[in-house]
Structure formats: structure tokens, C-alpha cells
Structure 1
Amino acid sequence: MSGDNSLSNSRRRATRLGSSAGTLVRRGLSIQSKLLIMLLGVSIGSTLIVGYIGYTSGTDSLRQAEFDRMTNLREAKSDAIETLFTTIETGLVLDSVGATANQAATAYTSAFAELQAQPTDPAQTTAVDSYYDDVFIPELNARSGTTSVSDIFVPQSSAETYLQNFYTVPPAGDFDAAAEVDNAGDGSTWSAVNDQYNPYFREMAQRNKYEDALILDTQGNIVYSVYKGVDLGSNVNTGPYKGTALAGAYTDALNSNVVDYVQITDFERYQPSLGVPTAWGVSPIGVDGDVVGVLAVQLPITAINDVMTGDQQWTKDGLGETGEAYIVGPDDTMRSVSRLLIDDPEAYRERAISGGLSPAVAQRIIDVGGTVELQTVDTAPVREAQQGKTGVMVAQSYLDRETLAAYGPLDIKGQQWVIVASITAAEAFAPVADFTRNLVLSIAALLVVVALLSLLLAQVFARPVRRLVGAVRQVAGGDLGVEVAANTRDEFGDLSMAFNDMSRSLQVKQALIDEQQAENDKILHTLMPESVARRYRDGDETIAEDHQDVSVLFADLVGFDDFAAGLGAEKELALLNDLVRQFDEAAQSKGIEKVRTLREGYLASCGLIVPRVDSARRTVDFALEMIRIVERFNAQHGAALSLRAGIDTGTVTSGLVGRSSIAYDMWGDAVSIANRVQALAGKPGVFISQRVRDKVGELPNMTEVGTIETKAGPQSVWQISQQRG
């Protein structure tokens, strides 16, 4: 009762304190007013908001401007390269349908047929073979990085041998010198025709920057070449260059039956040009549908590079220090030169290898001074453009650099090329970085001023906060009686008083909790050992322990139902509790650990919680004492109860069983055998297994009553009769 009165008084006192705190009149500025003054003074919120808005709008505008600039640059380059090819196509059509081309094709075809009818001069054959062995093949192998033999290239016809002997062999690989030879002075009709028309076609090739210009007759013979290479006189249908892009384009042009037909081929490596990637423009020669030959021009890769590099005036074109524009074919290799290869070959090698290019190919690119069909460009912008998409993105380049790339497909007849204009992200977004840096520095300077002012103002209201924080930490540490002084008449004062009320309330509640906890622990210890109870309180859900050398007693109280038949429920329970209490007292005195008590059963152990070397002896003594307790009970109450107890020793497992209703129990081989031992004879007494007998030795009044089967084999069961004093 005194505890209840104390608790009631504490609660009433807390209520009074809370009421007085609630009715306290506040004077002076509130904490809200002080916070408003501080926020208005330092303007941190507005500074950060304005800075953020300025940052997002400024950076977005600068980034979008750079995106638009790269898009415009890509479109300008696309227009320029598409215009170049349109000009080439137009010029090729005009040249192929012109009177000069028609007359030249007819004349060259006739002169070539005349040479073809002549027998081959062995001396000319020897000279041409020597040229292939000593000049062309070594240069081809050195330039292409392959190993070729002359047998597959040497002329097979008399006209081819004748023309190469007089026009290809003397310049010894100097194509410009070969183009200047109008007449070799051999007196042939072909030389006379060449003297008439070679200046025209040479001028055409030089004006349009063609790598070469060929005339083919309707049989596939190359009857004329400006630069007189090793393809002069060969046949694209049967010779060493059949199957090339030139041969395919020739067949298509001849079969078109349209004199204004033009076909542009993609680049491929062409051996007569020493393996240099070569693209062709091909158009039939004729008038009014009468085709007399085919004009093929070797497209100017230098002109393509001049357009893509802006004649190497990258900065003037708006590409800055790292920007470039390049073309990529459907095989994911370049169709124009890389800027870095021109600016710094060694830096190009390092970056290309870093981007995934093999060192051998990188060295090959440096050796030939070009990236066409060598530099792989398998990047996200290229893949997007190859799908017909146009756009701008930030992506890794083929040189393993983060770039801003504008991409799109090219509209070039017969080609699936794409164009990419790119610049490193660092250079592209340098204005963004500068703007961000300046903005950050400005905001940082302003925040320093704001921070100093905030520190000054914080002193006004930080002191009571610190006091409350210290008091809260003391409460968290277990000191529930802490109180703080309420020196201000604002929210901090109210908070201090509320804290004091809370502290006192917690102190009262903690006392009640401690009292209840002690009662719970007391009840828990009656149900299970201390070690198990501790684990249960700590939250273990599965508690089980294995024990060695434990003696187990399993006892059945026989006859209690008959004895209690005429008793009331309360009387019956009182007598049973008295009997069990005596069992418990005897167990405690002999060091026996009770495990479970049922209405007519008793399970106990020795050595389970406290290991004992004489656990078997103690358990036998306890069993005999239980029989004496039953006999005394019978004498006191005129009952005829009897006790049947089984004992075994060995390994057992103990633990908590169940979830919603927890029970401490023990199980295992020793428990099972103890139960079977007491049930074997079916009569009252103390029965022990062979393992128990081995531990306690020979005892008086011990008789063997049978055997039981165990995992280890048959085991004898012995009965111990109580000695009468």
C-alpha cells in the first residue's frame, strides 16, 4: 500500500507542475522571433536559393549552347562533304557524256585492240617482270604491311605488257612523272591517242584532285590511266583486280544503259595504289544511250580530309584545341583522318591504344599517316548514327576521352557513312566550369560572412540548448532525477520545465519497471536455469545445450488419482503441492536439478547445470529419498501411493521448447532410457541402467530385473531396494 501511495503522490505532483508550467505567462521575445531575426540577418536561405537558381539556369544555358554549337558544326561539315560528293558526281557525269570523253574512249579502245593483236616482245616482258620484282612488289609490301608476290600481278596480255613497258616501268613508281608523259615515242597508235587526250584527262584529275582517272572499254580492259600504274592494260573481269569494288562498279555502270548513271564505291585497299584505301566514282561513257566505255575516277581522299579538317584550321572552324570531325563507314572504321594523328602522332598512339586499338595497328597508322579503314570507331554516337538517328551526347571517344559528340548519317549516294563532330568534354564545358567556379567562390565568400554572423547570434539561444542536451545525455545514461534550470521566459523555459516533468515521470516509471522486472526474473528462474533465462532475456529464439555425463531421473507417482478421488479440487492440489515441495527440498539438498513437474511425474537431473563427478550417486540417493517421502506421506494421510523411478546417465540436451508458450525441457538418450528403465518392471521401486550401476558400483539390495535394447546394444536394468534402518 505504501508503494501505491508514493506512486499516486508522485503523479499528482507531476500534474501540478505541468499545470503551473502551462499557465506561465511568457514575456519578452519568443524563440520564433529570435530565429526569424537570425534568418533575416544572415540570409543564408535566400543566398543558397539564388545561387542554385543561377547555377542551374546558367550551366543549363551554357551546356545547351555548346550542344547547339556542335550540332551546327556537324551540320556544316555534313553539308560540305555531301556537297563535295555531289560535285564529284555532277562533274563525273559531265565528263563521261562529253564529246572529248566519248572520242577518247573510242580512240583508246581501238588503239588498245591494235596492241592486243601484236605478239608479246620477250624483252618487254622481262623488263616489266623486273619492275614488279624490284620496284612494285617491295613498295606494296612495305606500304601495306603484307607479303605479296609478283606472279599474281604481272601482265598476261600483249597490250598490257606493251603499255606498262613504255609508260609504267620508266617512271619507276613516280606517278606524277608518269602522268606528264604524253607520248613515249614508240610510234604506236596508242601513244598518238595518248598524246592527244592525256593532257585533257590529266588536267581533269589535277583540277578535281582525283588520285587517278581510268577509261575502260566494254570488255573490261583498262585502256587508259592518267598516272599509268600497274593496272594500266589489265582486265577487271579476268585480271588480278577482278572482285574489287572497281570491278563491281564497272559491271553495274556498263549494265545500267544510262549514260548519266553514277556509282560511288566505299573505300577498299587497292593494290595498284600500293594498298592505299581507294574509293571510286564510276559512270558510263556514251551519248544517247550508246555506251562506248566506262570512266572511273579514284576519289580524292585528300579532298575529303581537307573538308573534314577545314584544311587543318580546326580552331577557325570552331573545333578549338581538341575538336575534330570524322567519317565512319559501316564497318566501324574511319573514312577520314584523325586530328590527333596529324597534330601529335605519339600522343595519338598512346590514346588509340588506350581506346582499345592494337599496338600493331596503331603503329601501322603512324607509318602510313592515315586512319582510313584502320582506326576502329565503335562508340555510342556512331552506333546511334548508324541507326539513322541524329543528336548530341556526352560519350567516350575512340581515343578513350570523354567527348561531346554530335552525330548523324550522311546523305551520300550508295554509302552508309555517318559523321561525328566531337570535342573533349573538358574543353566543351570549360565555360560551365568557369561559371561554376566563380559562382561557388562568390557563394563561399558570402557564406563565410553569414557563418560569422550566425556564430554571433547562435550564442543568444545556444546556451539553454546545451544545458538541455547535457541533461538529456544524463537521462540517457541512467540518471533519471536530472533537472535543468528554467531561466528564460520563452519556449526554452517551457521546454526546460517540460523536461523536468518528464525526468520525474521517468524516474517513477523506472522504479515500477524495475520492480516488475525483478518479479518477472523471480518467476522465470522457477521455470528454467539462470543460464537459460539469461539467454532468453537476451532475445535468443533457439536455445539448446548439449551436456555430457548427466544423470537423469524419471519418476512416476502411482495411485494419486485413486487417493484424490474423494477430495475436492483445492484439497487435492494442496496435498499434491505439499508432496512436490518435499521432492524439491530433497532435490535441492542433494544437488539435484528439477527439470519438469507433472501431476504424477517428476523429471530431474544431476550434473546438468553444475557438473558433478558423483552425479549418479546423488541421483540414486535422491530417488531413495523420494520413496521415503512418499512413505511418510502415506503414513500421514492414510494413502497408498507408490513411486516408480528410472535412472540413467549419459548425454542429454536441454533447452526451451515452443514459441507462444515457452517450456524448459530436457531430452536425449539418457532421458529416454531413464523413462524406459522405470517402466520395465511395472512395479514401484528405484530402477537403474547398467551405465548407472557401472558408476555407483555394487550396492546392497541390488537385483537385476531385466534388460532393455539401446543404440549401444542390450543393457541390464537393476532394482535398488531401500535399506531399512
Structure 2
Amino acid sequence: MKFFSRLSIQSKLMLMLLAVSIASILVISYVGYTSGKEAILENIYYQITELRNSRARQVQSYFNYVQNHAITLAEDPTVIEATVSFTDSFNQLENEEVSSNMISELWRFYEKEFIPRLQMNVDGNPTVLSYFPKENIARYLQYHYLVKNPYDVDNKSRLDMAQDGSKYSEIHQNFHKFFRSITTRFDYRNLFLVDSETGNIVYSVHKDTGFATSFKDGPYAYSGAANLFETLQNNRERGAFEVIDFTSFRPSYGQPVAFIGSPIFQQSNLVGILLLQLPVNEINRIMTGNFQWKKDGLGKTGETILVGSDYLMRSQSRFLVENPDTYFKELKKQNISDRIIQRIKENNSPILLQEVKTNSIEKALKGEEGLGILDDYRGVSSLVAYAPLKLSDNLDWVILSKIYVSEAFEPIQIFGKRVLVTSAILVPIVTILSLFLSRRLVMPIYRLISGTKKITSGQSNVVVTVPSDDEFCQLAGAFNKMARTIDEEKEALEEQIRKNDALLLKTLPAPIVKRLKQGEEKIADKFPHVTVLSANIVGFDEQCDLMSAEEAVGLLNDIISAFDDAAQRHDVEKISTVGTSYLAASGLFVPRLDRDKAVIELGLEMLRIVRAFSQEKHLKFEIRIGIYSGEVIGGLLGKQKFIYNLIGNTAKVARFLMIVNSVEGKPNSILISQNLYEPLQEFYQFFKMGEIDIPSQGKMAVWLLSDGSHKK
């Protein structure tokens, strides 16, 4: 505050303008930032929530569709007929010969084709013995439909009929195209017909190592498909439906597979189980929006994923698709094992491999639905909308939509950067404008200050002009009025000073007046060579009784004024006037060699003045003068009323000579001492009066001088 108080008004105004402007920018920016952030947050929450709900509805719709399709297929007469035919022809193969050569070739198929591919997707070291079929029928059919199938492993379904001449192959030729078209048209990965009594897979569209094996005692009796078969076998309700979650299915080389099944009834008899093997492709297509995340408004980092109750992913990761290098680097940072990372790379999918155990997943698995800013499965802070997704009694998933916080708030961050840039541009502009405006605002003040300084320096007629019609104009008007008043008062004061000076000069010697004006309070000087004249108009007081007061005072004033004029002409200093007494001196303030002669000349003129006035007024009064020369002391006396007077022996002797002249001398004469007679005798004709006893001087000769005593 002390620093602020020391600043000029212009600086204060500029700082206040800057403070208000910057504060306004900050407030507007803060309000805009927070409002924008809230609006963006609300909009993105709405968007990801709507997307989550939409994807959930699509997944539910897909499973409902597959459910209805499975039930419909199970009730289809062609499927019922095919199931019965395949079961009967399958059982007829029990006595077919399986040679050692067939077994060897089948073994090599497992060893060369199946095990290497399976090994990439499962832990441990799978062996042929663990998966090699033990039943004769399974070996027979796998030999003809796998080993002798001319198509590669991924296209075994293209074989319509094996060349073994069996009834089974004839039936296979009759129904295989129908079932193959179903899997192709509805994008099922496989379709199984299972004997409801034995659990034998009597038919499958895509031939793999599970074909012709039993879900009851075969190598895959503990798979998810086997569990689904057992559930449906025990249910025995027409139109029943069951689904099994994605699990690693070994006949599909350990790939994640989900199964949907429905029982097949011929009239009231359960003749088989229909199993549809669901691929992840359709679910991935739904969850990724057909891999068009940006078109769904998910920007660069948004996605929707499914997670199972085991915390493993059930859908594809966007980051694996779009930026796999970064994706795998982040997996390593999360301490995921190299084996899992390698399997994700080989499968190009994190399904059933990547664990997603976050707060949002935990809450959703508890049945909660919500929104929040939470870490995603990559450990990145994201806006997340999560909810449980129940597809069946034993299929509880979690669906969540998310987008990175950094991307979600990118517009507001851009806004913040723009605000900073704009502020960086605006602050200098505001500073310049503040400087300009403050200068404009205080310019009248500067003019008033300049006018005040002029008045202070003694200038008069100061006028301040302000080119506006506001409070400053009013202030300037008041200042100009004050200046005129001061000027007038100054002139009046100067006039009064002049009058006072004139009055003082009439009362006091000019040098004394000057010293008095300079502030001297005690004025006293000793002068070594001064000639003093002391005069008194004798008989004037008696004549006053014959005149009015005005006439008496006027006459005396005229006589004294004539004395003053004469003293000025002879350069003799008037000292004082008291009544009819007059005191003057020469050589007092300015040393003079002719001071004695100047005083004599003044005295002679005073004689003529008095004679002239007495004759003119026909009055009887005369003047008697005493003159003496020597050392005197001059000083200013009085406090309220000043008088400059001479004291000391010289002034005393001059007054004494005037008194003696008044008593013993002649009318209208001058009485001088011996010390004046000697230097002046050659200029004037003196008349010796004799000797008188002068106080403190003793006997002294004195001389009379009257008008007309000049020597020719």
C-alpha cells in the first residue's frame, strides 16, 4: 500500500485499468473454461452413455436373434430329419475297419496340423495322446473328413462327401450344403448335431478334431460345449435355450468360442442337441461399430468393450487394431506376462486373454450402473459409462464406453491455450490503451498542476482550458475563478503593499523600510559621521486656537510636506516628525563629505518655507533650528507603531541647540556648534552668539545663521 500511495494518479489509473481488464479477462476465461468443461463433460457423458446403451441393446438383440434362430432351427423338420439320419448312420460305422495305416496318418495330422496350432493358444505342452480319439467311429470319420479331405485346415467344410462309400457319407452329402449355407449366411463359426443319448458329435459343418468325438467321455468332455450339452440334455424341454460364455475351445485351436444350444425333438422324443458355435466377429462388429469408431463420435481414443465376470475381455480392443505397437508397449508396462502378450499378438485379439480389473468393472459386476472419470484397462484416466449386461441366467457381462479425459477435454484445453494467447496479446494492448486513457484522463490534472505552479511562481492571469464538458471542466472553471480571485487579491495586495511602502517611506527612512521588509526585527546601527538637524516651529501651537482643526492640521501638513520636499532635494534623510518638531540627518545611511553643507542648505530653505507660510496665512510663528555633527545611534523603536529615531550625544546636542535657539536666539535662525562653523565659515556669514554650557560637552562656542547669510 505504501508503494501504491507513492504512485502518481496516472500510474494508479493505469494500474487500476490494467487490474480491471486483466481481472475481467480472467473471470470471463474462468467462467468460459468451467462452463465449457461442464458442457463438454455433460455432452460426452450423454454420448458415451447413449453409445453404451445402444451397443448393449445391439448385443442383446443379437443374442435374442441367435436364441430364436437356434430354437427355430431345432424345430425345423430338415434339422430333425438330419439329426435322426446322422445318428443312425453314425452308429452304423461302429464295425467299419480302421487300419493301422489310417491311424498313423490320423496321428500325423494331429502331430503336424493340430498340435502346433493349438500350442500357440494354450499354456503348457499339449500332446497328441491327450486329444487323439479313442473310439473307432471317431477315428474313421476324422480320417476320411480330416486326413483325406483335399482342402486345407480352414476349409474342410467344403467337402460334401467322403469317398468311403458309407451310408453316413451319403447322408452327409444330402444335408451338408444346407447346414453349410446356414453357417455361412448367419455367420456361425460352426454347427453341431449331437446325439442326446451318447453325446457323440454326429455332425459338424466345419470339420475339426471335435468332430465325431463324445461330449460325455471324449477328449473334450470338460469343455464349455460339453457343459452346455449336459445342461440341455438334463433340461429336456421343447423350445429350451441355453448359452455358454466364451471359453477356449480346443478343437478350434484354443480360440475363444461361445455356444448356443437348443434340444431337438422328434415328436415327444429328444433325439439330439443343436449347438451353434458363435464367433467373436459379430460381437466385435457390433462393439466397434464395424471398426468405425470416429463415425460413432468416439474420436481418437474412445471405444466400447465387453468384459466377462472373470474380468477378461469379450470384445476387440481399438488400440490393438489401430496402434498395436503402442498397445503392446503399454501391456508390458502393466506387467502382463510375455506369454499372454505373445498369444494376443498371434490371435490379434485380447479376448479371454487380457484382464480388465478396474473400479468401473467391479461396480458393474455388482449390478451398478454409472458414470465417472476412472482409469481404463490401460491405466489411462478416462470418462467411463459402465453398466451390467445380463444376456442369460449364466451369462453376466459388463459393457462400458469410454474416452480418454485428455481427448474429451481437448477442446477446452485448446480454448484455454487460445485464452492464454489472446490474453498475451490483449495485455500489452490493454497496457497501451490504459497508458493512453490514463494520460487522457489526467491531462486536465496536469494542466491544473501547471497552472498552480504558475500561480505559485508569481504569475498572474493564469487560465487553464480543458477540452471536455465533465467534472474536470467544472474543476478547471473553479480553478480559473480561484486564479482570477487570487490575481485580483494579489493586485489588491500589491496595491496595498505599495500604499504601505509609501506610508512607511513617509514615516521611516527608505533603507530602514527595506530592512524591515526583509524581516529584520531589531534594527540598530551606529554611524560615526552624521550631521543632525533638529527644528521646531515656535508659536504654531498658539496660532491653532485661531483656526479650525482641519485648517490647523492642513497647514502643518503643508509645512511638513514642504520640509520633506526640501530634504529630498538636498538629499537629506528625514528622521521623524513629532508635532511641530522635525528631525533630519545627512550621512546617516550614505556617507557624504558635504553632509554639513547639505544640512545647512536644508535648514536655510526651511527658514524660507516657514516665513512664506506665516506671511501667507498672516500668522505669527517662526522656526528655530539646531544643527550638530558627530556620532549617532539610529534604531527602530516600538512594536505596534514603528518610529525610527536617533539617540546618542549628537542627537541630544542638536536638540539642545534647537532649544537654546528657541529661547536665546533670533527668530527664523539656525544655531550651530563650533565643529560646524570651522569648515563652513568660508561659505556662510555667521554671527557669533557666544558660548553656552552644553551637557556632557562643557563650554562651546555657538553661531547663528539666518536666511541670506551666504557669502558672495
Q: State the alpha-carbon separation in 2 of the partners of residues 43 and 146 from structure 1.
A: 71
1:314 equivalent in structure 2: 293
2:79 is aligned, of 84, 94, 101, to 101
Structure 1 letter corresponding to 2:160: D
Q: CA deviation at 1:288?
A: 4.9
Q: State the alpha-carbon separation in 1 of the partners of residues 414 and 14 from structure 2.
A: 35
1:244 equivalent in structure 2: 223
Structure 2 letter corresponding to 1:169: V
SS of 2:120's partner is: helix
Q: State the alpha-carbon separation in 2 of the partners of residues 333 and 358 from structure 1.
A: 15
Distance 1:94 1:39, change over 3 A: same
SS of 1:326's partner is: strand
- Preserved contact between residue 281 and residue 296 of structure 1 (Cα < 8 Å): yes
Query: Does residue 70 of structure 1 match 2:52?
Result: no
- Preserved contact between residue 179 and residue 228 of structure 1 (Cα < 8 Å): yes
1:647 equivalent in structure 2: none
1:159 equivalent in structure 2: 137
Structure 2 letter corresponding to 1:379: T
Distance 1:220 1:47, change over 3 A: same
What does 1:228-627 correspond to in 2, within 5 Å? Answer: 228-412=207-391, 414-450=394-430
- Preserved contact between residue 40 and residue 408 of structure 2 (Cα < 8 Å): no
Structure 1 letter corresponding to 2:35: S
Q: State the alpha-carbon separation in 1 of the partners of residues 410 and 15 from structure 2.
A: 40
1:211 equivalent in structure 2: 189
Q: State the alpha-carbon separation in 2 of the partners of residues 40 and 197 from structure 1.
A: 88
1:220 equivalent in structure 2: 199
- Preserved contact between residue 59 and residue 436 of structure 1 (Cα < 8 Å): no
Q: State the alpha-carbon separation in 2 of the partners of residues 408 and 122 from structure 1.
A: 57
Q: CA deviation at 1:435?
A: 2.4
- Preserved contact between residue 13 and residue 438 of structure 2 (Cα < 8 Å): no
Structure 2 letter corresponding to 1:426: S
Query: Does residue 87 of structure 1 match 2:65?
Result: yes
Distance 1:120 1:40, change over 3 A: closer
Q: State the alpha-carbon separation in 2 of the partners of residues 423 and 112 from structure 1.
A: 53
1:636 equivalent in structure 2: none
2:625 equivalent in structure 1: none
Q: CA deviation at 1:148?
A: 1.0
- Preserved contact between residue 325 and residue 420 of structure 1 (Cα < 8 Å): yes
Structure 2 letter corresponding to 1:415: L
SS of 1:352's partner is: helix
Q: State the alpha-carbon separation in 2 of the partners of residues 204 and 128 from structure 1.
A: 29
Query: Does residue 55 of structure 1 match 2:33?
Result: yes
Structure 2 letter corresponding to 1:165: Y
Q: CA deviation at 1:106?
A: 0.4
Query: Does residue 174 of structure 1 match 2:152?
Result: yes
1:150 is aligned, of 123, 128, 138, to 128
Structure 2 letter corresponding to 1:132: Y
Q: CA deviation at 1:53?
A: 2.6
Q: State the alpha-carbon separation in 2 of the partners of residues 177 and 60 from structure 1.
A: 54
SS of 2:93's partner is: helix
- Preserved contact between residue 352 and residue 398 of structure 1 (Cα < 8 Å): no
Q: CA deviation at 1:115?
A: 0.8
After superposing the two structures, state which structure 1 stretch, 229-238 or 278-287, moved more: 278-287
Q: CA deviation at 1:458?
A: 9.8
- Preserved contact between residue 213 and residue 295 of structure 1 (Cα < 8 Å): yes
Question: In the comparison of the two structures, how many residue pairs are matched?
Answer: 431
Q: State the alpha-carbon separation in 2 of the partners of residues 439 and 267 from structure 1.
A: 51
- Preserved contact between residue 142 and residue 209 of structure 2 (Cα < 8 Å): yes
Q: CA deviation at 1:420?
A: 1.8
Structure 2 letter corresponding to 1:290: N
Q: CA deviation at 1:60?
A: 1.1
TM-score normalised to structure 1 length: 0.56
- Preserved contact between residue 38 and residue 457 of structure 1 (Cα < 8 Å): no
Q: State the alpha-carbon separation in 2 of the partners of residues 135 and 173 from structure 1.
A: 13
SS of 2:372's partner is: strand
1:541-566 CA-to-partner distances (Å, cap 9, x unmatched) read xxxxxxxxxxxxxxxxxxxxxxxxxx
Percent identity over paired residues: 32
1:568-618 CA-to-partner distances (Å, cap 9, x unmatched) read xxxxxxxxxxxxxxxxxxxxxxxxxxxxxxxxxxxxxxxxxxxxxxxxxxx
1:30-88 CA-to-partner distances (Å, cap 9, x unmatched) read x9xx8899469945554443433333222211221111111112122212222111111
Q: State the alpha-carbon separation in 2 of the partners of residues 222 and 205 from structure 1.
A: 17
Query: Does residue 139 of structure 1 match 2:120?
Result: no
- Preserved contact between residue 355 and residue 398 of structure 1 (Cα < 8 Å): no
Q: State the alpha-carbon separation in 2 of the partners of residues 57 and 274 from structure 1.
A: 54
Q: State the alpha-carbon separation in 1 of the partners of residues 84 and 387 from structure 2.
A: 43
SS of 1:186's partner is: coil
Q: CA deviation at 1:318?
A: 1.8
1:683-724 CA-to-partner distances (Å, cap 9, x unmatched) read xxxxxxxxxxxxxxxxxxxxxxxxxxxxxxxxxxxxxxxxxx
Q: State the alpha-carbon separation in 1 of the partners of residues 172 and 232 from structure 2.
A: 24
2:93 equivalent in structure 1: 115
Q: CA deviation at 1:384?
A: 2.0
SS of 2:245's partner is: coil
1:195 equivalent in structure 2: 173
Q: CA deviation at 1:375?
A: 1.0
Q: CA deviation at 1:434?
A: 1.9
Q: CA deviation at 1:424?
A: 1.9
SS of 1:203's partner is: helix
What does 1:3-18 correspond to in 2, within 5 Å? Answer: none
1:132-180 CA-to-partner distances (Å, cap 9, x unmatched) read 2232222222343541111121121121111111101123783443211
Higher alpha-carbon Rg: 2
Structure 2 letter corresponding to 1:96: A
1:127 is aligned, of 81, 100, 105, to 105
SS of 1:266's partner is: strand
SS of 1:126's partner is: helix
SS of 1:201's partner is: helix
Q: State the alpha-carbon separation in 2 of the partners of residues 271 and 361 from structure 1.
A: 17
SS of 1:331's partner is: coil
Q: CA deviation at 1:322?
A: 2.0
- Preserved contact between residue 151 and residue 159 of structure 2 (Cα < 8 Å): no
Q: CA deviation at 1:328?
A: 0.8
SS of 1:106's partner is: helix
State the superposition RMSD in angstroms. Answer: 2.9
- Preserved contact between residue 66 and residue 429 of structure 1 (Cα < 8 Å): no
Structure 1 letter corresponding to 2:110: Y
Distance 1:343 1:48, change over 3 A: closer
Structure 2 letter corresponding to 1:155: P
